[in-house]
Structures are given as structure tokens and as C-alpha cells.
Structure 1
């Protein structure tokens, strides 16, 4: 349900530019450019080529860009913050003590290597003894924050009643994350599958399986996951909320999927009083039901054992960690070396004690003034989007009214929540193993999510922690959120020129706002309910424009003969296009936007588009390009620049791009939605 976009923001005010051009900080660094390439030839290379040459890909990354630079700065801040906690005695039971202890456990390589597979031995023994009657309880135990064998479940707002928390059952069971890794047979996919089977066998051997038994178990795991992949929804289908909304009574659930003991399952999860559930992939659940009834106990045990070991591997000894890296990072993404231990250890408190870390982070790094400035900028962008909606030629007046009502109903969350999470019942015991503690925190988080069942939806709740370098739009609450982590230098610079700030932070704000009107968000009303508020003619006009936009992206080759997937990335592409147009309109209302004052030889309009392109500067491995094309609903950085900009008249005018240039797109082929 959550729509997030991996963007990074910079802050500006609509009313700035009271300074002279000479006093401004440079928002666009000329060193980022590759002036050997003409803007009309390849604008992405022109705008970002200098940065890419100066920042060759570090082997610990599969992709590194300006976004990742900001994330790295954030990690350094968090590391210094957490290391500072250990300099003074910490009271037992405090959030600071829990954060420091779990981080230190992750850093203790001597202890981790000495323990080997001991932390998983007892639980693994339980799985190895499981009988058919134990399946439901085991599934619930694993799905309680650890893994997703066969399927997944959770609690979130009902698609059609945003005040109601509903229990959902989702498709799952594929540890490679996407059905295509099991079904396609190109060279890269085959290599990934081969690495995956080797990994399954390796970690099972490390866990105590004999060589022959581990090899046989690896075959069993791949066979089960392949069967689940064969019936899983495609990426494109998974964007269709109508297809996902299938309400089952408990009686029907028990009848249609009788090989799961649902009473035992819900009891083990600690969820009571479930009368209806939403099954997002009935075909997948039918296959799960079939497999649980037909597979031998040995095969099910092998699969469940691997799902458990796979979840634990990153938190065990170095041999487990290396095996995990070799498949998920090296084979899948093209990374060459692991991140240093401190970065991996930092991820645990940052994710599993996120608000505790966030509260410490905000107190040290986030000035309150940033929140006020950001709120003002959001208001300016909202006005601009409202004007765009009012002047649309393809939308009827009736639908425009509903769109404007939705826009003006947006909840805006900036910086950090008003109320912090309570971690008093979360436990960290330094006398226990690292994995035991990580498992306890994962289960604590899962129980927090499940505890929302039967309660009204908490619309004050945040879907991201304050220290996250990201932003999101959430349809069920009709909210946009910009955490504190993205509101800092180099992307938040109130002394930079307006063109640079609007080209970065402005586009991101507009992007998130536009998500409320993309191919998914448009199906939800101002209250977050899945209600059709469009006329038939307007819906058809939108679909026609969206299809045309999708075809532009699908025409792009990303690697070898593989094309981008314009249907899968549709929402983000609409968000990019809308964000660009809305931010540009807001920028043109500033004093700088109305002038033609040059900085470093560039006009304000040129700096706006250069700033946008610099947001997406990155170097990336071929493996990561292919992986993201399969699993990431965002287009690659190059396409987010070159394809999106080729629909904007102002871009062509800014750089004098004409017919015959590679960046040119004929007016009749351009697409404008928002």
C-alpha cells in the first residue's frame, strides 16, 4: 500500500532571491558537467558526466550516486551519535542503552565467529522435527518478523475504508524477491539462480546439514519457490489494486485453503477476532494449499529451515555473512566487496529501533527552522499543482473539482513525528547472541504491526523514520512525508539560488504530490478510500496519456537487449513528470525565475534543469541495472532525466534543442499529464 520513492531533497523558499547573484552559494557545480557532450546529444551525460568521472564506483556498492552520498553522510552522523553513547554509563532499559548494546553486539566479530551456528541450532532443531500438524504454528512463527515462507501476512488500512485496519494475506515465498528470477532463462538470470542454489547448499551445510542432504535440500527449496513463482502476479498486475482486493470470510478462507490450520495460525500470531481477510493473490494461495497438502514433510522442513537460516545469515559468523553477500549482493547486484562491519551493524538499530535512533538524531542534527521552511515550500508547490489541475484540457470540470479537493486535503509530515514510539517492552540482552537479539527486535516490530488489528487506523503514524534519506506518498492517509534525514546539505541549502533548489527539492515535493494522481494514487479519494471519483471519459483520457508515456520508457534499452518496463515504472514516471512541471511553474513565480540573471554562464532555466539532472547522477553495475529493471518501480537515473525532460517545452527552449538533435521529441509525440 505504501508508495515510497528513493529521492533526496534540498530545501528552498519561494520568496528568496533577495540576494545578489554574486552572494549565492553554487547550487549547480560546473565540475559535474561533461562539456564534451552537447545537451541535445545526451543531456544526462552532459549534466552528470563530470560527476560520474570524479566518483568511480566503489566496489562495496552496486550503484552510487548523489543520493547515496547523502545517505553516506547520514551514516557517518549516526555512527558518531551511537559511538558517543558508549562514552558514558547508560541506564539499563533506556533506549540509548538498547541502541548501544545491539550495535556493539554486531561489532563483536570475535564472539560471532566463535559462536558459529550455535545461535540457530535450537530453532533449527525444532524445524527439523516438524510434522504436518506443526505447519501453521511454524509459518506464523517465521512470518512474525523473520521470513515469508509460502506467503506473507500483515495488518494495514483497508483499501476501501481507510479508517479500518484489515488483516491481509499476500503472496510470497520467493526469497530471490521476484518471479522472473525463477522463470527467465537469459544468461544473467541463470547465473543468479546458480549462485542461489550454491548459497542454499552452503548455508545449510554451515548449519549442520551433511553435504548430500544439503544438496538435496537446495533442490527442494528451488523447486518449491519455482512453483510459487509460476502462479505469482506479474509486476504489472501487482499495481492493480482492484485485482488485489479479494475479501474472504474466515469460513471461506478455511474452505478454500484447508491445508493451513488457520485457527492455529492466528493464535500463534497473537491476532484475535479475525472475521474477514483480504487475500491479494488467491492463485498463489491455492498453490500454497496444494503444496502443503502434497509435499512430503521432508521437503517442507527443508524449505522452512532454509527460510529461517536465510533470515539469520547476515547476523551470524563471517562464513554465513559471506555466503549471503555472494548471492544477494555480488550475483544479484554486482557488488565486489562487503560494506565495513560498522555500516552493517548500524543498520540494525537504525531499522529495528528506528524511532529511538531518530529521536537522538533529530535532537542533534535537525534545526527546527528547517521544518518551517519546508512547510512553506510545500504550500507553494501545492498552489502550483492546483493551478495545473485547473487548466488541464483533457479533464472535465467535475473531475477537476474532486482532484482539487483531494489535493487540498493532503496531510503534510515534515521532519519527525509529534509522538515517538514506545520501546520500553523491546529487549536487548548483551549476554545473548546477536541473532537472538535481532530476532527479538524483529518480532517486537512485527507484533507492533499486528497489534493494530481491531484498532482504528493511526493516521499520525509515520511510515519512515526521521533519519531516513527518502520521502513518500501514502494513499490510505492521503499524506506526503519528508523526513529530517533528507533536509540537510548538500540538498538543503537556503543560500543557493532558487533555480538549483527548485530543480532538486521542488521537483521531489511535486513528485510526491503527483503520486496522489498517478496510475495507482488516482484510484483513492481525499479520505484515502479506493473510490472511483473520475468520469468514464476522464479515466479513458488519463489511461491513453499514461500508456503513451509508458511506451516512451519501454522503448529505452537499459543493458544488452533488455528494455525498460514503462508499465511497471508508470507511477514513478508520472511522478517525475508532474514534479518537474509543478516545480518549474512554482520556480517561475520567484524573482529569479522571472529574470534572466546568469550564474556561471547559465540562465535560471538552465540551472533548474541541470539541478534536476544532478539529483540522478550515479554510476551503476550492469547486474544492478538488470536487477532494478526487474524489481524497482523507479526508472533508472538516466531515463528519469532524458526521457522525462523530452516532454517539456521549457527544457528544449532552455538549451536550444531542435529537430535533428537526439534529445528532440516532436511536439505531437510529447506527453503532458499533470
Structure 2
């Protein structure tokens, strides 16, 4: 199948080049027009004279639906057909037919666009970047600052301070700063000195009795963790795998991001070790060390981290250990002073903690790693540990990590930082850019939320019909009942339309023109927010499930959360070419609703079946149902699928999700309706064009290449072969078609 995808590459090159001159950028625009009129799917449709029954996206509620320009859908449809390669016969290679002439515009490729999803993300970036740069001048003029809403003021100030910091250039005047590194380092070294005395910062430092490695190292690690720094171990706040409604602590080995070439790499190499040493050396030079001493310290720090790395088993093992109380863990490892460690970490919420919190606070800990760490620290000098922790603190705030990047890369980094720390503010700005002023944006989002909740309800009802009809549960009524409970409990987490929420930066926190000081404040705020979730669990026994998601506009995807049994839809994907109320239903169901249904199916794949309706890892499917499910899913391991064992869950979610979307679309047209040829063709074309372009990476990828993915999915549909009149010998019409949940 992969060879089929490639065999027309050179024959279509000329058409691709011709297309570049008139790529229609409207596919990336989602502004709401105000003129009247609609055009049905019959515009530019072929081989049918029937009129589609439905001509608008599903709607409900009291929110006013936005009006649609008469030319909006025809322009979108024209863009879609511009991507089609008419030279390719769809029954031979549907991906090449649908995407043969797709190419992201240059300005989007420069921002990382390599396929449809990343092109939309790049366009979101471009819109936000233009806004932020435009508003910099408004922020400088104190007399016009009142014209900026608080979310805009906060976002622009953060962004401008970041650009000023990483580019060494004043965002307003364009003049280079000569002392920016000194100012940045002073911000962090002042904070470090408030915590303790450090050998690197004090040439006259001497070890004292209280600075023994274990006690002092535990204290310093805890103080740094209040700023989000993960040093000797990672301390995370996440759901209890046994009771997902509880937020608890997890302790595991460090990620070793600086030592390894990539986070997913199993080992470090000589190149990554050299780069790490060079980075530490330059940090020390900036702190005023002589070259030879800086080189020696860099070698010491990296060698110590290599010793930490050796404490972790080489095999990639994921073990679900039993949660235990802080008191129990501290008694098991008394040398690590874990009671004192957590007393420092939770200092900001100490007055609200119950007196017996150590007997109630739950922790899932990698005890074997902690034991090895304890033994290593017993033989480590306090001075070396302090040097290592200081480097981890500076690296956590990415000091000097972006010096060699281009100006655009540095600005993109600042936008990503803004997206990471202030997604609610950036979402608010993005909504206004997409849908007009605050009132228009709020009205559009209210209408969109109603429509999306309707679609999600329809998907769940259709999948319930499939669960009732399939033979997977024919001899296991209990597992079927549990599957139904999980489906009914599954939630859709949408972006929050409110201008103020707990996700917004509190008014008590004021950002300045010092980016490094801003980062210190924001990391403390983030840590405090995480601790409040743990506190809620301690006081009430559970943490209230989120009503909305807190993703920002640079997240262009959808996510199924196993431990929440919920699907999160970020604001970044709620736009053309995926979703817009003025798009035709076949387009919406073939692309956007398919993405939603794909995520729903992850709740019922080989990972999902191990989690119940509340997100607890219980593995409560019966053996008979598992065997039947395995038998029917074996089709997805056939020779049609590259690396089927690795991509199995995604292959299942792709085909079963698109089938669920198609059946839901069919029922939305009418109880016993038959979709027209045009509707089916537009549906499958919309699906295929969701994956135009190339994957970002082929290593450690759980998905097949886009071309293989598209062709394998449509090959599983009789509706596709009928609509495109594919013969029995056509590559897109194999004799066997995979299906798990379809009616028998």
C-alpha cells in the first residue's frame, strides 16, 4: 500500500507546482461573515441531481446561529477540489487522488506546517503572532493601555518581555541589550540565594554539619520543586490510577532531558553528552567562573547525572504500584526525609492541610529507584549535589537554551511559552480574532457548544446501537453492561467561553517587563494550582472533574483522556477546515466528527477496555468478550497494515471512528435515509483531506503514514467502493473489510 501511495509522486509534481500560484488560503480562515444566503452541496457536485436533505451543521439551544456568506461554502469546496489530483483514479490510490495537489503555503511551512493539522496550527500561530506584535506598541503607550482588555494586556506584556529576553532586543525600540544575560542570571541567582547558600555562587562556601548530602539535598530539591523544578526525582500531580477522581502525587525517576538526545530516546550518546557539558560550561562562564573551572564543573555535573541515569532499569517498564501514604513511604525510606520534603513543597497551603495529612496523603512511588538514589547520595559530596541542583534550576527556566536559534524561532518559542502558561488568555484573544468582538465571540461559542454537545450525544446514541447489535458481547451481558455504563458516563470537555475563570491569571499576580521574574511567578502559580487539587482530594476525598478543557489555540487535535473518560476538544481545532457552522454536514462529519468519533473509540480499544466509566484502571472486561473482540480486531493486524502490532489501537480508532461518524451522519439526515453519491463522496474526501501532507516523524509513531492510513480506512467501507464505483480488483476494494462494532 505504501508503494501505491508513492508511485505517482513525480507525475504529479508539475500539477503541484502549478497549484502553488493560487493556493486558496480561505481553507484556513474561519471568520463569520454577515451577508445572507446559502448554497447546497450541489455546488460543484458531480454525477447526481438529487438535493441533500441537510444543508447546515447541527444546531440547538437559544444561541443565535451566525449567518453565512453566500460564497463561503463554494469557496471552501473549491479549495477542496483544488487539492484533488484528477490524474489519479480514486479506486487505485484514494490518498493521492484526494491530496495529490495539497501543499501548505510557504509562510505556513516556515512555521512548521507539514500536513493539514499542522497547517492549521501554523495559521493559528501566524494570526496570534500578528496580533501580539501589533499590540506591543499599544502596551508601550500608557495613555492607551486602558483600550486593552486584561487578557490582552497580560498576554502582550508576557510575550514582549519574553521576546526582549531571548532576542536580547527591546521589543519596542529594536535596540540590542548588552546586559540582558546578566539581568536574567541575577533574577535567578537572587532567588537561589533566598533559598540557601550555594558553592557556585559563594567562592568561600564551606560545608557545615547541617549541609549533609541527604538532609540538605532533600531540602533544596523541595524548595526548587515549588518552582516546578524536577531534579533528583520527578514529583507529579495526577489522577490516582485506582480511583481516578482523586488527585495524588507520583514520584518517579527524572526524565534526563538534557542528557539524552530526545525525551523518547532510551540512551544518551556522546553527542548529547558533549552538548550537555558545553551548555553547563557556558552557564558557569556567565556566572563568572574561569574557563578551566567551568569545564571541570560541567564534567562533574554531567557525570553525576549519568550515575543517576544508571539507577533506572534499561528496559522500558511501566508498573502500576500501589498508592501508599506519606507516613508509610517516609518510614520505608527514613534517610530521604520525605516528611520534611513534602512540608516544604506544600508550604503555601500548609494552613489548610489537616493535621494528619501525612497519614492521608497518597503517593505512588518508584521505591526501587528511591532506594538506589538513597545509596548514591550517601556517597555524594554536598558540594557536588548543590552544583547539580543549581544547574537543574537554571536549565528548568531554559536559561541560554535558545541563544543559537533564529529570530523567528525565538519569537515562536515565546508564543509557545505564552500558550503553555496562559492558555485561557490566549484562547480569549483567539476567539475574538476568529469570531469578532467579545459579544460576537461569546455568541458564536455558545452556539458552537450547543451544536457540539448535540453531535456528541448523537455519536453516543449511535454507538449504543452498535453495542446492542454487535456479537462481541453475545455471551457476556455483564461486560456489555459495563461498556454501556462507560459510554453513558463519557464526557465532552469544550473550551470555556467565559472571559474569567480559575484558569485565568489571578488579579493578585502582576507581570512585569522582566521575563525571568514572570516565569518565577507563573511556575509558583502553576505549582500552587496543582497543590490545590491535592488539597481538595484530602479534604473531600475527591477532586471535582473539570467542566471544560484548558487547552489553547496551538493545540489542533482532540484527546481522549483514559483517567477521566472524557474527550477534550481544544479551541484550536474549532475552525475551518474542520468545524464551522457554515460548512456542509458531509464535510463536518467526514473530518471533524470523525476526529471526535476516533477519540471516542479509544475508550473501547485495547487500552480503553482496561479502564472503567470513572477512569479507574480495573480491567473488568470478561474473558469471553475479550476473546471475541480480539478475534474481530485481528483484521487490523493483516498485511495491509504496516507495523500493525504498534499501530493497532490507532487503526481500530480510525476505521471504527469513521464508521460511527458515517452512521451518525446517515441518521441525522433521516431515520431511514440513504445518503446520496455526492454526500458520500464529500464525506470520504473530507476524511482523506484531514490527513493531507506527511507525518512529522516516523520513529516511535503509533500511527501509519498518512497515505497508508487513509487508504486502509476507506478500503474498509462498501459505501466508498459503491460511491466511487471501484471494481473487485481495485486496490481500494480488498475482498475482506475490517469491522468490530458494525451490526452483524
**If the length of structure 1 is used for normalisation, what is the TM-score?**
0.78
Q: Does 1:605 align with 2:704?
A: no
Residues 504 and 548 of structure 1: CA distance in aligned 2, closer, same or farther (over 3 Å): same
Structure 1 residue 585 displacement after superposition: 1.6
Q: Deviations 1:579-598 (Å, cap 9, x if unpaired)? A: 21211222233549824343
> Which of 235, 244, 247 matches 1:153?
235
Give the unaligned 5+ runs of structure 1: 1-7, 12-16, 326-336, 557-563, 599-603
Residues 661 and 206 of structure 1: CA distance in aligned 2, closer, same or farther (over 3 Å): farther
Q: Deviations 1:202-261 (Å, cap 9, x if unpaired)? A: 4454454544444445545554555555565789754xxxx3242223344224444422
* Contact 2:108 2:123 (8 Å CA) reproduced: no
Partner of 1:29: 80
Partner of 1:279: 364
Structure 1 residue 543 displacement after superposition: 5.0
2 CA distance for matches of 1:339 and 1:544?
Answer: 51
Q: Does 1:672 align with 2:740?
A: yes
Question: Quick one: higher RCO (CA 8 Å, sep 6+), 1 or 2?
Answer: 1
> Which of 507, 512, 515 matches 2:599?
512
> Which of 564, 580, 584 matches 2:662?
584
Q: Deviations 1:450-483 (Å, cap 9, x if unpaired)? A: 1211313121354423544333223333322323
Residues 255 and 246 of structure 1: CA distance in aligned 2, closer, same or farther (over 3 Å): same
> Which of 164, 170, 181 matches 2:265?
181
Partner of 2:158: 102
Q: Does 1:268 align with 2:353?
A: no
Structure 1 residue 573 displacement after superposition: 4.1
SS at match of 1:393: coil
1 CA distance for matches of 2:237 and 2:380?
Answer: 29
Q: Does 1:48 align with 2:106?
A: no
Q: Deviations 1:413-448 (Å, cap 9, x if unpaired)? A: 3331667115336533426x3112112112211111
1 CA distance for matches of 2:125 and 2:40?
Answer: 34
SS at match of 1:594: coil
Partner of 2:550: 464
Question: RMSD of the TM alignment (CA)?
Answer: 4.0
Structure 1 residue 298 displacement after superposition: 4.7
Partner of 2:572: 485
* Contact 1:552 1:566 (8 Å CA) reproduced: no
Partner of 1:502: 589
Matches within 5 A, 1:448-463: 448-455=529-536, 456-463=542-549
Matches within 5 A, 1:313-324: 313=398, 320-323=401-404
2 CA distance for matches of 1:654 and 1:200?
Answer: 62
Matches within 5 A, 1:57-456: 58=109, 61=112, 64-79=114-129, 82=132, 83-84=134-135, 86=139, 88-90=144-146, 95-108=151-164, 109-110=168-169, 114-121=179-186, 122=189, 123=191, 126-128=197-199, 132=213, 133-175=215-257, 181-183=265-267, 195-226=275-306, 232=312, 237-238=317-318, 243-270=319-346, 273-275=357-359, 276-279=361-364, 281-313=366-398, 320-323=401-404, 325=405, 337=406, 339-362=408-431, 365=435, 366=441, 367=444, 368-395=446-473, 396-416=476-496, 420-421=501-502, 423-424=505-506, 427-430=509-512, 433-455=514-536, 456=542
Name the count of aligned residue pairs: 615
**If the length of structure 2 is used for normalisation, what is the TM-score?**
0.72
1 CA distance for matches of 2:648 and 2:556?
Answer: 23
Structure 1 residue 341 displacement after superposition: 4.5
Greater Cα offset, 492-501 or 372-381: 492-501
Structure 1 residue 173 displacement after superposition: 3.4
2 CA distance for matches of 1:635 and 1:291?
Answer: 43
2 CA distance for matches of 1:656 and 1:93?
Answer: 56
* Contact 1:149 1:307 (8 Å CA) reproduced: yes
Q: Deviations 1:500-549 (Å, cap 9, x if unpaired)? A: 22111111110222222233332222233333331122234445666764
Greater Cα offset, 371-380 or 282-291: 282-291
Q: Deviations 1:591-640 (Å, cap 9, x if unpaired)? A: 49824343xxxxx33332222222122346xxx525xx33x655554454
Partner of 1:4: none
2 CA distance for matches of 1:230 and 1:671?
Answer: 45
1 CA distance for matches of 2:495 and 2:656?
Answer: 23
Matches within 5 A, 1:512-551: 512-543=599-630, 549=636
SS at match of 1:358: helix
* Contact 2:266 2:314 (8 Å CA) reproduced: no
Matches within 5 A, 1:4-15: none
Give the unaligned 5+ runs of structure 2: 1-27, 32-37, 44-69, 171-176, 201-210, 348-352, 436-440, 537-541
Q: Deviations 1:249-296 (Å, cap 9, x if unpaired)? A: 334422444442212211221165243433254444344334333344
* Contact 1:98 1:427 (8 Å CA) reproduced: no
